[in-house]
Each structure stands twice: as C-alpha cells, then as structure tokens.
Chains A and B, each alone.
Chain A
Amino acid sequence: MLDILGNLVTGVPMTLFLTFGALLVGVILGIPICMARRSHHPVLSNLAAAVIVAIRSIPPLVWLFLIYFGLGSGILRLSPLVAALGGLGLITAVNMAEIYRGSLAAIHAGQWEASQALGLPRWSRLVEIIGPQVARISLPAVATYAIGLLKDTAVASIIGVPELAFKGTYLSQQTFKGLEIFAAVGFLYIAMSLPIAWVSRLVDARIRQRVAQ
C-alpha cells in the first residue's frame, strides 16, 4: 500500500502545476477581459459579455474535449498538458474578469475622482490606485476559486494529463483497490486545499489589519 501511495503522490506536482498555471493565466488574462467588458464601446463590451457567458456555460470537461480533440484534430497539435492549461486558464480568465468587475463596483467613486482631480496619468490611476484596491477586494474570491480550480484540474485526467486523478485511475485499474486509492486521492486533494485557504486567510487578515475602514 505504501508504494501505491508513493506512486500516487507523483501526481501531486502536476495537479499543483495545472492549478497554479491556469490560475496565473486566468489572473492575467482576466484583466483585459474585464476591461473589455467595462468598455464604453458597445461592440467590445457586448462581445466580452458574450464570450464570458459562452465560456462559463460550457462545462470544463467539454472545453477540454473541444480543445484537445476538436482543435487538436488537424488544426493545432496540442499536448494534453497545453490543452488542459489553455482550457482551464481560459475558464479561469472569464471568472476572474467577473470577480474583478464586482470588485471594481465596490470601489468608491471618490477614489477615481480623487485620482483624476490630482491629475494622475491613466496608467498610474489603474496600476497604482485602483488596481491594488481591486486586488485586495478580489483576494478572498480568487482564493475560493483557486480551491475549486484545484479540484477541477481532475478533468485533465480524461485527456491523459498525468496528474493526481489520472494516477489514481491508473493505479486502481492496476491493483483493483479502488476504495483505498481514491480515498487517498481525496485525502491528497484536502491536503492541498488547506494551505491555499490558510495562506489566503493570512494575507487577507494582514491587509485588512492595515487598511481596514
């Protein structure tokens, strides 16, 4: 049993890599999507809204099939890992865009007005004044999403990315010890989730203590 567990654990780095990779893609790509969604240009904002709804309404599993088997059949040769990162990253990006949009709405109009009245250039208003406040307000929601994403990475096993769920499936087929193996898999997911929740709470509390209003 111990060597099985040892074998399972080798899937953990891939799961973490997928989680944080997709999160990174999403956190960055979410910014332009959010900006497009909030654009005064009706074509741009409607297009962004449509993209957000479309991507959010289709299950991650279907997205991975679309990208890996759909795009992958002739148009683009994608490795399972790239397809999974792309699919999960895209889904994360539109969700981040919506989280940012909510956070932006929570920022007092006076923050924009003060930075305009001071004559701060546009980049500074966005990067130094509004951005950090959006990040702070978004943090708890992003952490919650990250934990959800950690579990969603299991769908990547379907297209053969050797992460935790993939290893579990493979080993259970080899050994016929499904219960023990998947219990261990579940335990490992818990073990990965807890630190994310813990770190996010710690950071949030620290910022809150500093800037609490």
Chain B
Amino acid sequence: MNETSATDIRPLVLVEGLRKSFGSHEVLKGIDLSVQRGEIVAIIGPSGSGKSTLLRCVNQLETHTAGTVTVAGVTIGPDSASHDRELQKLRRNVGMVFQSFNLFPHLNVLRNVSIAQQRVLGRSQAEADERSMQLLTRVGLADKAKQYPARCSGGQQQRIAIARALALDPQIMLFDEPTSALDPELGLEVLAVMRELAEGGMTMIVVTHEMHFAEDVSNRVLIMADGEIIEQGPSREVMQKPQTERARQFLSAVRDR
C-alpha cells in the first residue's frame, strides 16, 4: 500500500493485450490502456463496442480471456486463475459506480455507505458512520442518512452510490454509464459530484454517453468500436478533430441527436 506516493510515475492502471470472449463472440480484441494517477479518462463509443466490458475487467467483475490487468501493483491474469485474495487486494483500490446504482435496498443509506468500511477496512461502526456522514454531506445528502434507498430519487441514489464507493478510499473510481438511467435533470446533479471529484484529483475512468463531460472534464478520451480502441488522445482534440472515419461517424451521430 506504500505504492501510493505522489512521485510514483508508474501508471495506476495498466491493461495489456486484454481480450475477452463471451463464447465464440470476442468483445475485446486486444486492448492496451494505461491510466496515470490523477488522470480522468472518458470511454465513449457505440453500444456493444465493449466499453462497459473493458471497465468491468478493470475490477474483474468480468474475467478476461487473455492479457493482464494491473491496478496499483496488483496484476491479474486471464480467466481468474487468480485467488480470491488477489481479487480482494485489487478491488480494495478500486471504487465502482454502476448505471443502475445497485444500492442495497434493505439497508438504510448510512448502512449502505458504512457496511463495507467495517467489513473490508475493519473500521468500527462509529468510525465508519462518521466517515459516511462526511461523504454524505459532501454529496449533499446528509439528511437522507436514515432513509431507505427506495425513498430517494435516482440522482440521489447515484450520489449515495458514489459516497459508498468513496468510503473505502479507493485510488481509482470506475463509472459505468452513471447517468444513463437518469432523467437529464437528475443526471446533472450526479455529473456535478463527479466534476467535483475530478477537481479534487481523483483518478477516474468513465464510460459515458455524456459528450460534454467527456470533452470538458476528462483529460483523455478513448473511442471504442467493435472491441477495439479506434481513437484516443486529449479530450478536445479527439472530440473536435477525430482522425478516423469511424470516430467521425460516431461523433456526428451522437451530436445530431
């Protein structure tokens, strides 16, 4: 855990030659990606291009077929030959936010944010609750602590989910289409929280359909199509002057909406 010093120049996330097949269908065809500490990477691209699968391979919610995934010094090889302990070590550094929030419906908001702190980090309930309240305050939802998730709007649930992931002090946050299940208005409050996180220096990989977020907040944009990264580079450059025809097609299609 001492590999976290600010002077560390090794990438925080390193994906090499990543391949993933579901049966005979190959959804990731050899992805290489490195993410530096403090970087904010947006992954965009048409549905079915493999963006979510790539993200889910980073914290091994999906095992991969070939290649390696390294996060903060923990390397995982193909097809979960790795032990549970290695997986736990890797996930320990990675926070994830889902499209469908996935809060635990039977636990109140405070328990949702506290439970993993106790079980994973070994914090006492009092310590965990204190940290949870700080984070809930930060996402503007301290008053919901005793409510159940069902009583919260989608935007609120997603902000709680962000607080829950942050509570484990991850080194990197993964966002899997965090606003896609939300009305545009509610999406904005989630994006505001993400923007604030970005300004605070959090390393983030964000799979998104929010072109403004990709262009304005992220440092780097990756465009994926058919299981490959077809274009990547500094956000503005990629978004405004895409080099490949496929990327131009995609960007003009999403902009015309």
Which A residues are closer than 8 A to B by beta carbons? 108, 110-111, 113-122, 124, 128-129, 132-133, 136, 210-213
Which of A114, A116, A117 has the most B CB atoms < 10 Å from its CB?
Answer: A117
Q: Which residue of B lies closest to A122 (CB)?
A: B84
Residues A211 and B105 in contact, CB atoms below 8 Å apart: yes
Residues A110 and B88 in contact, CB atoms below 8 Å apart: no
Quick one: given A113-B61, A133-B105, A213-B105, are A118 and B100 in contact (CB under 8 Å)?
no
9 smallest beta-carbon distances between A and B, as pairs: A110-B102, A114-B102, A118-B116, A117-B96, A119-B91, A124-B119, A211-B105, A119-B120, A132-B106
Which B residues are closer than 8 A to A by beta carbons? 59, 61, 84, 88, 91-92, 94-96, 98, 100-106, 115-116, 119-120, 148-150, 161, 164-165, 168
Residues B120 and A111 in contact, CB atoms below 8 Å apart: no
A residues near B168, Cβ cutoff 8 Å = 118-119
Residues A118 and B148 in contact, CB atoms below 8 Å apart: no
CA–CA, A12 to B84, complex, Å? 52
Quick one: given A113-B61, A119-B91, A132-B106, are A211 and B100 in contact (CB under 8 Å)?
no
Task: Report A117 CB to chain B, min CB distance, Å.
Answer: 4
CB pairs A–B below 8 angstroms (7 shown): A113-B98, A117-B59, A117-B61, A117-B165, A119-B91, A121-B120, A136-B106
Which of A116, A122, A133, A213 has the most B CB atoms < 10 Å from its CB?
Answer: A116
Task: Report A203 CB to chain B, min CB distance, Å.
Answer: 14
Residues A212 and B150 in contact, CB atoms below 8 Å apart: yes
A residues near B92, Cβ cutoff 8 Å = 119
B residues near A136, Cβ cutoff 8 Å = 106
Task: Report B128 CB to chain A, min CB distance, Å.
Answer: 13
Q: Which residue of B lies closest to A125 (CB)?
A: B119
| B61 interface neighbour in A116, A128, A129, A132, Cβ under 8 Å | A116
Q: Which residue of A lies closest to B62 (CB)?
A: A113
A residues near B119, Cβ cutoff 8 Å = 120-121, 124, 128
Residues B150 and A118 in contact, CB atoms below 8 Å apart: no
A residues near B106, Cβ cutoff 8 Å = 132-133, 136, 211
Q: Which residue of B lies closest to A117 (CB)?
A: B96
Q: Which residue of B lies closest to A116 (CB)?
A: B61
9 extra interface residue pairs, beta carbon distance < 8 Å, beyond A113-B61, A116-B91, A210-B150: A110-B98, A117-B94, A117-B165, A118-B116, A118-B164, A120-B116, A128-B119, A211-B105, A211-B150
B residues near A128, Cβ cutoff 8 Å = 115, 119
CA–CA, A119 to B95, complex, Å? 10
Q: Which residue of A lies closest to B101 (CB)?
A: A110
A residues near B164, Cβ cutoff 8 Å = 118
B residues near A116, Cβ cutoff 8 Å = 61, 91
Task: Report B108 CB to chain A, min CB distance, Å.
Answer: 9
A residues near B91, Cβ cutoff 8 Å = 116-119
B residues near A117, Cβ cutoff 8 Å = 59, 61, 91, 94-96, 98, 165
Q: Which residue of A lies closest to B100 (CB)?
A: A110
Residues A120 and B100 in contact, CB atoms below 8 Å apart: no
